[in-house]
Each structure stands twice: as structure tokens, then as C-alpha cells.
Structure 1
Amino acid sequence: MDLQGKTVLVLGGSSGIGFGVAHAVQALGASVTIASRSAEHVDAARARLGGTAKGTTLDTGDATALERFFAEQAPFDHVFCSAARTKVAAVRELPLQDAYASFDSKFWGAYRLARAAKIADRGSLTLTSGFLSIRPRAGAAIQGAINAGLEGLTRGLALEFAPVRVNCVSPGLIMTEMYQTLDGDRRRAMFDGAAQKLPVGQIGTPEHVATQAVAFMTNPYMTGTTVYVDGGGAIA
């Protein structure tokens, strides 16, 4: 797992899974660029990463901005995307505009990125879905549908983009900043309860997902593949 001299772009790299991937690839010698909608968050993430990390403000919802950004860059060796904003609720409770916006952010955001990205031959594009694609849950049909769509998109892109490799990492419950809105006791109770239901007996971290993202980048024999990093959540 050597990324010395490689260039890696991480969309959604200012926090959570994306930041975990950025940290991992930089530790392996890559020149990493993190991208996020918020310039403030990008600057804070760069300060945390240190070293030669670069940053840019970029929104996967803006096709024109994506095309302009890649037109000004040399091809990246690897691109990772975890950028998305979604809302989850039962179908009859989630306003249609929120359902449309969720698909637009996570599915169409990845589609727009794939369409615009310049990736070196034998490089890779990694998308992020989620295990609800194969383990549906009442009240989260929209999220399962989006994730399943991303996994289907991954397989089609792997054929279209060859020799660039396209894969998808599908996380389960991951301990990230998005849960900081819960008070400490509620958050701890939720994580403890979820961990007890998983075969591995613990909750995932961004580092766990980053391990698989690095494997996709460095293994030249993987494309069109979705790997579930979910602690056994899909079978529990």
C-alpha cells in the first residue's frame, strides 16, 4: 500500500470519512487535495492534516464548477468521493423536495463528479454508498435507493472508464462529527446499543473505511466492486 508520488483528490475531505481517507493517503506518501463546500472547513482540515495538504472549495452540486476545476488540473491518480447531504424519513413523511435534494446531492453529485473528473490511466475513482442498499430499514427507503443506485453506477462506470478503475465503499454506522448534535449520553447509548447488535461488537471509525479506500487505490486488480465496511451490519 504505497502511494508515494501519487496525487489524490478527496471530495468531502474536510470531515468524517473523507477526512479519514485524506489522512490515510497522506500518511502513505500521497499529495492530497481536500475539497468541500465550505472554505472555512477546508482550511481547518488542512491545518489538522499539516504537511503539504492542499484544499479547494468545490460543490458536487455545481456541474460547471466541477468542469472548470478539472480543466485547470493535471489528471489525478485517485479520486475519492464521500460528499453528500441527505435527509432520511419514511416515504410518506419526507417532503418530496427533500427526497429530490437527497438524490441530487449523493447520487447525482457522484454522477456529476464522474462525468467531469480527469483521472490518470490505471488510476481510480471510489464512490461511497452505504449498507442500507442491501439491508433495507423501515423509514429509510430513500437512503437505501440512493445507495443501491450508486452501486449500480459504479459497475457501469467501471466498464465505461477502463483502464481507470471504479469501485464503491459501503459503510455501516461510522462514528463521525455528524452525531455531535446528540448530547453525550444519547450518543453513547446509541453507539453502545448498535455495537451490541454487530458481530464485531464495535462501531466503525473513518479509519476503518479509509483502509478499504486505500486498498481500492493500490490494488490494480479491483474494479466494479462494492465492499461493505459495516461490522457485519448487513448480516446481523
Structure 2
Amino acid sequence: MAATLEDRHVVVIGRSSGIARAVTESATAAGARVTVAGRDPEALAHAYQGNVRAERVDVTDDQSIAEFAQRLGPVDHLVSTASARARGVLGELDRAAVLNSMNTKVLGPLMLAKHLAPQIASDGSFTLFSGVAAFKPAVGYLGVAVTNGAADFLTRCLALELAPIRVNAISPGVIDTGAWDSLGEEGKRAYFDHFRTHNPARRIGTSQDIADAVLFVMTNPFLTGVTLRVDGGEPLT
């Protein structure tokens, strides 16, 4: 039987929208006490209307992570959704963008593990995020792919190093979080139509699809070292 989130302390690092918001709301609905954290805690507190505790943390700053850990107290489940995408073909990529991507999605979680592991419950968990580009390389996504691949491998390393704390990753496919709005209405529609008609699930994912997966890996006591692909079967095409 899966564990419960009733009265457990869940920490969600990320923005106040998209996947982080869906995870926060789902964990709260499951009975957890939730702390949300990011670079702008005031904005987070406003977005959630004071229903959760809001804290400041910058996952690219070790001092910020250390101070965050000191303020946080005991934690049952930690989820890091923070990311910075380095999209573009090889000729368009620059070192700073790729470093920022790795720093946010790989080194950030690594340092979170370093500073917070001593206060995560032994039957608790740490959930990271990889992504479909790690398993289906595509032109224009080199920086994203190497970052997600590193996050995938980090997950397995941490599962060994932090045991019995469970460490897993979620690998989303194309999810309608608002991240694609920059393509414009027509561009976004064309992009989504392509994936909707080509992936085996024949649909675009939602933030709730991902939140449901996060709650699953948090509450399954025999799941660790796994990257759960919630991608509509996209890598199969």
C-alpha cells in the first residue's frame, strides 16, 4: 500500500505556475503541509494567497541553499522543478546558456541534496526532473538533452548515496504549461498539433499529468533510482 501525504511536509521548488503549481495543489489536496520556494517568495506567497509557506532559495547559489536548509526544518518530500532551457542548434548555443541550464537543473539539485539530505526523513523522497530530450535527441535541443541526460544519471547516483531516502526523476514530454506561448498562437498550435498527431497517446500532456506522477513517486515506498517517463510515448516515434 502506498504511503500517505497526510501531515507530511512537502517542499516544492519552482514557479507559481505550471507543473510546480499543480504539484503544490495536488500535495495540499492530499493532506500535506507544503512549502514553496523560489527566488521571489513574496510573489509565491501572493500567487498562493497565503495558503502555503513561501521561502526564498536560488538553486544556483550554494549560500542561498544552505540558508534555506537552516530555515526549513524537517522535510518529508522534496521536489525540484527548477529549470533553465538552452534551446538552439549547435551554432546558436553559447557557453553561458548551457552552463545556466546545467547549473539550474543538475548542480542545483545536487547541492540541494547535499544541504537538505540530513533533514529529509529516512522514509522520505527527493524528486528531480529530467525530460524527453534525454531519451529522444532532436536538432535544436542539444543543450536541453545533455542537461536532462545529466539529471537522469544524477537521479540514480543520488538514489544510492542518499539511501534509504528515495530519489526519483520525472521525465515529461510536451506539456502545455505556457512555456510554448512564446511561439505565438499559430506557432504553438502547429507545434502541439504535430506532437498530438504523432505520439502514441495522441494528446498533449497537462501539468496535472505530471503532478499525478510526482505524487506517485513520492508515495510509493519501493520506488527509487527511477526516471518515470510521462511523455505520451514520444520517444517511440
Do these two structures clear the TM 0.5 threshold for a shared fold by scoring above it? Answer: yes
Q: What is the letter of the counterpart of residue 142 of structure 1? A: G
CA–CA distance in 2 between the matches of 1:23 and 1:65?
25
TM-score computed with the length of structure 2 as normaliser: 0.93
- The worse-fitting range, judged by mean Cα deviation, of 99-108 and 19-28 is 99-108
Paired residues for 1:1-236 under 5 Å = 2-47=4-49, 52-117=51-116, 118-236=119-237
CA–CA distance in 1 between the matches of 2:73 and 2:45?
22
Q: What is the letter of the counterpart of residue 176 of structure 1? A: T
Q: What is the letter of the counterpart of residue 111 of structure 1? A: L
Change in Cα spacing, 1:102 to 1:223, as seen in structure 2 (3 Å) is same
What's the secondary structure of 1:77's corresponding residue? Answer: strand
CA–CA distance in 1 between the matches of 2:206 and 2:113?
26
| Contact 2:109 2:128 survives alignment (8 Å) | yes
> C-alpha displacement at 1:190, in angstroms?
1.9
| Contact 2:85 2:143 survives alignment (8 Å) | no
What's the secondary structure of 1:24's corresponding residue? Answer: helix
What's the secondary structure of 1:70's corresponding residue? Answer: helix
Unaligned 5+ segments in structure 2 are none
Cα RMSD over matched residues?
1.5
| Contact 2:42 2:54 survives alignment (8 Å) | no
CA–CA distance in 2 between the matches of 1:106 and 1:185?
30
Aligned-pair identity in percent equals 35
> C-alpha displacement at 1:160, in angstroms?
0.8
Q: How many residues align?
A: 233
Q: What is the letter of the counterpart of residue 10 of structure 1? A: V
> C-alpha displacement at 1:84, in angstroms?
1.4
Deviations 1:140-182 (A, max 9, x none): 1121111111111111111110111000000001101222333
- The worse-fitting range, judged by mean Cα deviation, of 86-95 and 198-207 is 86-95
> C-alpha displacement at 1:66, in angstroms?
0.9
| Contact 1:84 1:109 survives alignment (8 Å) | no
> C-alpha displacement at 1:204, in angstroms?
0.4
| Contact 2:56 2:68 survives alignment (8 Å) | no
TM-score computed with the length of structure 1 as normaliser: 0.93
> C-alpha displacement at 1:114, in angstroms?
1.4
| Contact 2:93 2:143 survives alignment (8 Å) | no
> C-alpha displacement at 1:40, in angstroms?
4.7
Q: What is the letter of the counterpart of residue 197 of structure 1? A: H
CA–CA distance in 2 between the matches of 1:158 and 1:33?
23
What's the secondary structure of 1:183's corresponding residue? Answer: helix
CA–CA distance in 1 between the matches of 2:15 and 2:123?
23
Q: What is the letter of the counterpart of residue 68 of structure 1? A: E
Q: What is the letter of the counterpart of residue 60 of structure 1? A: V
Unaligned 5+ segments in structure 1 are none
